[in-house]
Each structure stands twice: as C-alpha cells, then as structure tokens.
Amino acid sequence: MMMRANMTRTLVIGGTGPTGIHLVRGLMDRGHEVVILHRGTHERPETPIEIEHIHADPYDMESLAEAIGDRSWDLTVVMYGRLRRIAEFMVGRTERFVSVGGVPAIRGWMNPWLFTPEGLPVPVSEAAPVVASPEEDEKGFRVARTEEFVFANQPRAAHFRYPYAYGPLQVVPREWSVVRRVLDGRRQIVVADDGLTLHHHGYTENLAHAVLCGIDRPDAAAGLAFNCGDDEVLTIRQVIEIIASELGAELEIVSMPFELAVPARPLLAQPSSTHRVLDTSLLQTRLGYRDLVPARAAVARTARWLVENPIAPGAPEEYVLTDPFDYVAEDQLISSWKAAVGSMAPVTFEVTPGVGLAYSGPGGRPRTQATFEN
C-alpha cells in the first residue's frame, strides 16, 4: 500500500495488549503509518490487517536491534519490553519518544507503611517523591529508575504512568472475582472494612486515550511524566454493586475487618485497606484528557464482557488473580463472623452519640423553621 509522504511514521513496541489495541487504532484514525513490534505470540483480530508487524523480543536487545536494523521513525511508542534499554537504543532512531510505565514508581504506592500514619497521601501527584531505594520497595525502585533512564536518554519524552488496567483481555481481571461468584450462584461476598477502599484503576480505552492525548500535544507533553487513571475513582463496594446491578444479581455484601476478610484480598490487590488515589489534573489540564468511557459504565461493560467470555477455572488469569473461589471456607467465615457479631451483648448509651450539629444530610438535625423563604 502506498503511503502519503506526510504521514507520521510510528513504531509501537507492543500494541497487542489490552490498551495497545486501542492505541494502535487511535493512531490509525489519526493517519499514522503504524508498525508494531512484538513477539508474535498474541495476534489480535482487532489489529488492522494493513499494519506491518515486526516480530522480535523487546526484552532481548540483540533480537530488537537485529529486527529494527537501520530503520528510523518519526514517533516511537514503547508499551512493553526493557524500557530503559529501548530508550537508549532509540536515540537517533526516532524524533519523538513516548513510553508507558507504572504507578509503583510513586513512593508509598506499594508500601503504605512508609508513611506515618500508615497510608499514601490522597491524592498523589507527579510531584510526589518516587521510591528512593530497594529497601522501600524493590519493584517500585526499579520502575522509578527506569523513568530516570528514559528522560536521561530521551529528554523530550512523554511518559505515562499506568495504574491497574481493567477491561476486555486484561490479564489480571479484578472484576472476575465478582462475576464468577455471580455466575456460580453465590449470594454473598466478603469485603474488608465495608469495601470503602479507593483504589485508582484505568479502563483500557481510557488509558490508551491518555497516551494519545500526549501524542496529539507533543510540545505540552514533552519532558513530563503523567499519572493516568479514570476521572472517577470507585470504591470496591461500588465496583461490586455496579457489577451485580449489570448482571441482575443480588449480592449481600458482608463486611468485616481487614484482618479477617481473607477472601477480599484479590479485590483489594494490596496489603492494606488504605487508599491509592492519583491526582490526574496534569493529564487533564495540560493534555485535555477526559474519560472516553465513564468509570461506572466501564465497570459494567467489563462485567458483561467477562460473562460473554468467561475465564476457565484454573486458567492463567485466575492464577494471577490468586482468588481460589473457596466457597466452603467463605461460608464458614461468614457464619463465624455473623455468630460473633450476634453474640455481642447490647450496649446502652446514656447519651446516644450523634454525627455533629453541623451535619445536614438524612437523619440530621431537624429544621428550626417550618417554612423556608427565598
């Protein structure tokens, strides 16, 4: 196929994963001449057939160098592989460099005990410190060092920090912990601390859109790292309720303290029930980002997709999720918890504690006047 002379020649390293397929389509819609480099183990029907594929291992620099040869591009987008080495290798081979990393670079994201009191500051912006040593968090330190390598070799790079992604084809399908229980006929689900933990996620289409916003505004994005995630952060309880509503199911949410709520761990996906919330205002104000799909609709879509594309018991996605779906043990835990709560002796307060006279919502202080004059 003959390409127009003014088309942006773009190399995408990756491009077949849950966000990559949307990114590639977005580039095609913008008129880019796209080449994707990947191992070739995950060919997606969603990938436009006219795109050139280079099959190489992005984690093996000899394989990558041999596959690329002396070719160069206007834009390179790196979504997976040995990012720090690729950033170095692409010097002189690309005019623009865009990369995808992760939020574990942020100090305290993976280790909330680095703060006293325990918990990551909410929300956390790009100005927050990154992990400073392996002792603070081994993985987070490597991610933070990779960011440094990227900008050292590509000073005008735009770097996008992904949180956990969700949506079709996601390899860690958080929503499956709820969807499978519904499909299995469960009517109860255990949550920690009423399921009120806020844990920032990003829908696959939204995350791809964030990167595309940076590609559309190269000068505004140059030299910066951007936190990415949905505009709205849902609590775990809200995620469960949205999924149950979408699937027409009734689920009793059984809340218990974090220390006891063992079956809730896969949904929490962290060692504490503290919050993980990103400040994404830089992405919004500088690059004009807004969700393509609102978070509530995205969760519902994901649940419906999982029903239509169920994961086989014991499949790699379940293995990574680490949810054993041990309903016998869950029933024993729920029964023991309810028995313990039910065995508590009634407590009578001489004066019942209130919510404060400043509270104005349901159940608050009655109005002092019978009528209201505008």
DSSP string, 152-200: HH-TT-EEEEE-EEESTT-SS-TTHHHHHHHHTT--EEEEEGGG--BB-
| H helix runs in the chain, sequence order | 20-29, 61-68, 83-89, 138-153, 176-183, 204-216, 218-221, 236-246, 265-268, 281-287, 295-308, 316-321, 327-342
In a domain, 369, yes or no: no
**Residue environment code for 157-187, b if the CB has 16+ CB neighbours within 10 A, otherwise e:** bbbbbbbbbbbbbbeebbbbbbbbbbeeebe
Tell me the C-alpha distance between 151 and 218, whole Å. 15
Residue 32: predicted pLDDT? 97
Residue 44: predicted pLDDT? 84
In a domain, 318, yes or no: yes
In a domain, 367, yes or no: no
- In this structure, the strands spanning 224-227 and 158-162 are parallel
pLDDT in tens, the chain (374 residues): 444 557 899 999 999 999 999 999 999 999 999 999 999 887 888 888 889 999 999 999 999 999 999 999 999 999 999 999 999 999 999 999 999 999 999 999 999 999 999 999 999 999 999 999 999 999 999 999 999 999 999 999 999 999 999 999 998 999 999 999 999 999 999 999 999 999 999 999 999 999 999 999 999 999 999 999 999 999 999 999 999 999 999 999 999 999 999 999 999 999 999 999 999 999 999 999 999 999 999 999 999 999 999 999 999 999 999 999 999 999 999 999 999 999 999 999 999 998 888 888 887 777 777 777 77
Residue 270, domain extent = 82-342
Taking the model in full, what pTM does it have? 0.94
In a domain, 29, yes or no: no
In a domain, 11, yes or no: no
CATH of the domain at 89: 3.40.50.720
Domain count for the chain, please give it. 1
In a domain, 368, yes or no: no
In a domain, 76, yes or no: no
In a domain, 33, yes or no: no
